[in-house]
Chain A
Amino acid sequence: MEPMTAHQLKGIAVSPGIIIGKARLVDRSRIKIFYKYLLDEKQARQEVQRFDSALQATKEQIRSLKNGMPDQIKQHAFILDAQLMIIDDSMFGEATVNTIVQEKINAEWALQKSIHNIHQLFEQVKDDYIHERITDVDYVAERVLRNLTGKEVEDLTEIRERVIIVAHELSPADTTAIDVGKILGFITDVGGQTSHTSILARSLKIPAVVGLETATQQIQDGILLIVDGNNGEVLIDPDDELIIQYQEKQLQQERYQSRIAKISHLPATTKDSHRIITKANIEFLDEVREAREHGAEGVGLYRTEYLYMTSKEIPSEEELFEDYRQVAKNMAPAQVTFRTLDIGGEKFMPQLAANKGLNPALGLRAIRFCLREPKIFKTQLRAILRASIYGKIELMFPMIADLQEVFQAKAILNEVMAELDDRKIKYQQDIKVGVMIEVPSAVAIADILAKQVDFFSIGTNDLIQYALAIDRANEHVAYMYQPFHPAILRMIRQVVQAGQKAGIRVAICGEMAADPLCTYILLGMGFKELSMNFGGLPIIKELIRSLSYKEAQADLKRILKLDTADKVQEFVLKRISSIMPDIGRRSYIH
């Protein structure tokens, strides 16, 4: 008998569940061009301007590539010089401008015509070397097109049937364009537990496997796939027997999920009556309802970047206020913790994009950016304060690394409050102000910070990345993202103890909170509040109800003596498996 066959890929399981469906390959290299006639001279002039600035931007990019070239390969810089000449070539830029003006068509279309003409010109050339140069032309054209379209890629809004998205990687801009109702699952070549796709998939409760490295090369558009988000397996073109086997597995899981969902509103109280508050992390307004349905007792982390990411301009105070007001109101009387803007400065200042550098995570972002651009920061703070009377709101500053930053942020907050007082605008006067603990320096000075703030929330995603020096988007080191690393456990414990000593609340809002194995450790540490993507709430609550706080505390002492992440994991897995046999493999840590 033939063995069950299917070509199999193995990646990182980031969102549980099994799904069987058709692949939809999202080709990130191709740019979709749209064609448009211009109405009049004025539009043509604007279009020429748009094209010129795209050309300038392209030149800038090529120049900075050239400047950034290591010395060993400097002799190849002439290729970039040739590209710069192509941009300046009359057949490229000038011809396109003429076409825009004469034929009254948009820049993309006109550029395509120029490229077509250049191709024709080279067609008669026999010389292979020169023939090859056409690739330089195409390369430059591609860059210009990207600059013209604002790096927009394939239009994901066009997806009509329910499919499994296969991509190299997906940006927040991509995923906001997708009609998420159409997506059965995600698989990507790169990424880790906390890349954007993973977080999105978990909040949508659809299976996802990332870090597959070659998925986009091995999977053809339209082919049947089985994605197992529990163990990171992707089966390409499975036979009937495999399909039946996985359908059975799928069914079992769905039954389990629906049973859990029915009891999700019950409080998370351990067997020995220790009550844990479970809250949701949300990214946008629409998630409030789902968070409640999944049993969230508040929003422990409202990521406020969405409105900034989805619009080209900085959102206005009114726009922000309306969104915040609704989030506060729909969640009331439960609390919402607003994290102020946690975004890279390059989003707003193109001049920063150029030196975005190799380490954007270490750059001008989050509170650093806000303190440098108080106008943007104040607008957001005003909107949050104004929304505060519609519900129960807390403020939280991200990426605090230093006490001075806390003082500066609070000073700006006080200025905004004084302004509102002057204008007789009401807000929650006693609003609580906390900080995210996600930079190792903040852990080290947690006792100092604790005296100045009302609460801590540990952002484990970034903390792990910064503490273990792992770029979480780098698939080659993603395996080293280890929440069970003794260093991480010690850091978390240090923060909890600093908080307890100062008498302030310590919550956790990273992905660790949603991992069943981590839950046990966090319980033992003494956390009273866990905030996670709402998809994880029912299971985590169910797990907490089956645990004993006293045992977790006793086990923590043993766990803290273990010297490697593997030993910690093995220990906890054994414990949890004996309590809830089904749950150990739901851990995303492998």
Chain B
Amino acid sequence: MELKKSLQIINELGLHARSAAKIVGLAKAHQAKLYLKKGEKEVDGSSILSLLSLSCPQGTEVEARADGADAESLLQALTELFERKFDEGR
């Protein structure tokens, strides 16, 4: 099963090492493969380096794509993580 979802990075610091690490954590906890796309560039969501190289400051729109049996719960968890501002409080 492949699912896509648009997400916005709303935390103040944007996608940096700590937040990217949390995405990697989610991706590794699921069987489905995760990809994040910004503009034309799509990267492996389980690679912290690839995620960082997307360079996503606050306000960036990304498209998450999940491919695998638990794609739905992966995207659900990812959405919540983004909405919780990666638990950074701002």
Interface set of A (CB-CB < 8 Å, partner B): 78-79, 81-82, 85-86, 89-92, 118, 121-122, 124-127, 129-130, 133, 136-137
Contact = CB atoms under 8 A, between A and B. Distances in A.
B55 A90 contact: no
Given A78-B17, A121-B49, A85 B24 contact: yes
A85 B52 contact: no
Given A79-B17, A82-B17, A133-B17, 12 more contacts: A78-B21, A82-B21, A82-B48, A85-B48, A89-B48, A90-B50, A121-B50, A121-B53, A124-B53, A125-B55, A130-B16, A130-B55
B79 interface: no
Contacts of B47: 89-91
Contact of A122 (B16, B21, B48, B53): B53
A127 B38 CA distance: 15
Interface string B39-55: 00000101111101101
A118 B55 contact: no
A92 B49 contact: yes
Given A78-B17, A133-B17, A86 B48 contact: yes
Contacts of A125: 52-53, 55
Interface residues of B, number: 16
A91 B49 contact: yes
B62 to A, nearest CB: 15
A92 to B, nearest CB: 7
Contacts, number: 52
Interface in B34-85: 44, 46-50, 52-53, 55, 57
Contacts of A78: 17-18, 21
Secondary structure type dominating chain B contacts:
helix
B21 A90 contact: no
Nearest 3 A/B pairs, CB to CB: A82-B17, A85-B48, A121-B53
Nearest to B43: A121
Nearest to B50: A91
B20 to A, nearest CB: 8
A136 B46 CA distance: 18
B52 to A, nearest CB: 5
Contacts of A86: 48-49
A91 B16 CA distance: 17
A121 B49 CA distance: 9
Interface in B12-26: 14, 16-18, 21, 24
B16 A90 contact: no
A179 to B, nearest CB: 42
B17 to A, nearest CB: 4
Residue among B18, B46, B48, B57 with max Cβ neighbours from chain A (10 Å): B48
Nearest to A114: B49
21 contacts: A78-B17, A78-B18, A79-B17, A81-B21, A82-B17, A82-B21, A85-B21, A86-B48, A89-B50, A90-B44, A90-B46, A90-B50, A91-B49, A121-B50, A121-B53, A122-B53, A124-B53, A125-B53, A130-B16, A133-B17, A137-B49
A90 B47 CA distance: 6
A125 B15 CA distance: 13
B16 A129 contact: yes
Contacts of A82: 17-18, 21, 48
Contacts of B24: 85
